[in-house]
Amino acid sequence: MKDWIGEILSYKSLEVERLRREGLPVDEISELLPRRDFKASISRKGRINLIGEIKFASPSEGVIREGMDPSRVGKIYEDGGVSAISFLTERRFFKGDINWLPALKRGLSLPILRKDFIIDEIQLRESILFGADAVLLIAGILSEERLRELLFCSEELSLDPIIEVHDPFDLEKALQCGAKIIGINNRNLKTLEVDLRTTLELFPFIPHDRIVVSESGIFRKEDIRLLKGIGVRAFLVGTSIMRSDDMGKKIRELLEDENG
């Protein structure tokens, strides 16, 4: 079985080295974009808090959608009623680009999560510079000490960090580090298989004062209904929307039970 995570992290280490060597392109962005409250946007009571993900490809899915401007996708998402945007900025494996982020931010009123493989503080400063309001920190690729350091740095920069977990060991690490927003990824990092039982099994062990986001494998309103049944109120959905012939209609379908 191919070691996708190892390959991605090797490439990401080279990117971080380049960033350190060349420095952040401060002069290329005229002004810092105002921060938006991601945490508040995804924790509103009495509704389905849908985080719409802009993702053009992935190792597990291959090419998901081609030829669309991220800003256009973001506008469809916002008009459809999502609570926030997740934007995959990883270039090589997910066909994203952080350089698209400022235009996406300027065209929307929603907060934006930068989703990438963040392993170093310089990536957090880069995230702020390009307009992100939140960042993803993956517990499974970081030691507890490194996760704690990046979590602290994120909060110091006024970024809302989502700590992504995949199993009980990740969850324990996240809780020990004081994570306030926990994303349960239903995709196995090693096999890339998806199973909603990951959320069903981990959710009961998370304190009630934390915000929980279920990620991956959510394709139908019945999936959201299942997860809502145990108390989940925030959902990150990308592939099923991006592959839809009518993305706005797909979002409305997922939000159909919002007042239920």
The ranges assigned to domains in the chain are 4-23+43-254
- Among 189, 193, 215, CA closest to 3: 189
pLDDT value, residue 63: 87
pLDDT value, residue 189: 80
Give the DSSP H/E element, type plus range, for residue 147.
Answer: helix 144-156
pLDDT value, residue 28: 55
Unique residue bearing structure tokens 């993900």: 53
pLDDT value, residue 259: 56
Superfamily of domain 4-23+43-254: Aldolase class I (3.20.20.70)
Give the DSSP H/E element, type plus range, for residue 51.
Answer: strand 49-54
Q: What is the pLDDT along the chain (260 residues), one digit of tens a residue?
A: 467 888 999 999 999 999 999 988 765 554 677 899 999 999 999 899 999 999 998 887 788 888 789 999 999 999 999 999 999 999 999 999 999 999 999 999 999 999 999 999 999 999 999 999 999 999 999 999 999 999 999 999 999 999 999 999 999 999 999 999 999 999 988 788 899 999 999 999 999 999 999 999 999 999 999 999 999 999 999 899 999 999 999 999 999 877 55
pLDDT value, residue 254: 95
pLDDT value, residue 17: 95
Q: What φ, ψ does residue 48 adopt, rounded to 5°?
A: -85, 120
Unique residue bearing structure tokens 């170093």: 120
> Is the Cβ–Cβ distance between 14 and 198 less than 8 Å?
no
- Classified as helix, coil or strand, 8 is helix
